[in-house]
Each structure stands twice: as structure tokens, then as C-alpha cells.
Amino acid sequence: MTNDLQEIAKDFLTEAQEDYVGLWSLVWDIKNDFPELDRNETRASVLNIIRELLHENLIKAGIPKISGDFEEWTGSVEEIVSRIRNEWEELGTDPTIGDIVWFVSTE
């Protein structure tokens, strides 16, 4: 990751330590900091950050429940990243609040 992407990943992790954070938050950060990226490059950058944070076991992917519990997605890092990619492609647009997946810090 470039230094700028590492800083975005660090900020995303900090946010995930405070509360559940949605995929949309990371997408918006990448788009704001790198407006020159096209949709595919943005998606690749987002997925690379997620892959790295999952691989390092710093975040969990899943869905928050009304009860306040977090329903973690199971599977390998690549299965989770693939699921996000596929659901993003099916969405047909960039994710917004509540779309696809949320994350929480493991710390």
C-alpha cells in the first residue's frame, strides 16, 4: 500500500475500534482522497485495504444486528473479499450507508 492508502487504512481501523463501520465509509474516503481513480481502481483499492486488515486479523466483516450483536461472516479472507466484490458488482453502484457489509475491530 502506498503511504496515503496506509493512512486511510489506519483511519478506517481507528473508526472500527470505536463502532461498527460500513463499507461505504472506506469507499468515500478513497474517492475523496483519490478522485482521479476510476470505479474499478477505487474498488480494487478498497478491497486491497480490506484484504490486508482481514489478513492481519485487525477487523471482522459482518452485519450488526438490532440487538447490538455483530453477526460475523465466516470463511477465508479471500472468500470474504470475493463475497464483498460480488455483492458490490451486483449492487451496480458504489455502496452507500448500510450496503453490503460492516466491519468491527478485533482489538
**Three cell numbers, residue 5:** 492508502
Average pLDDT of the residues of the chain: 94
**Local confidence band at 1 (pLDDT 50, 70, 90 cut-offs):** very low
**What pLDDT is attached to residue 93?**
94
Structural domain count, the chain: 1
Cα–Cα distance for residue pair 32/62, rounded to 1 Å: 25
Greater confidence (26 vs 68) lies with: 26
Residue 41 has pLDDT above 90, yes or no: yes
Cell 458504489, located at residue:
94
- CA dist 46 to 6, 67, 68, 69, Å? 11, 28, 26, 25
Predicted confidence (pLDDT) per residue in 61-97, tens digit: 999 999 989 999 999 999 999 999 999 999 999 999 9
Band (pLDDT 50/70/90 cuts) for residue 2 is low
The CATH number assigned to the domain holding 87 equals 1.10.3510.10
Domain that holds residue 74: 3-105
Record the pTM: 0.92
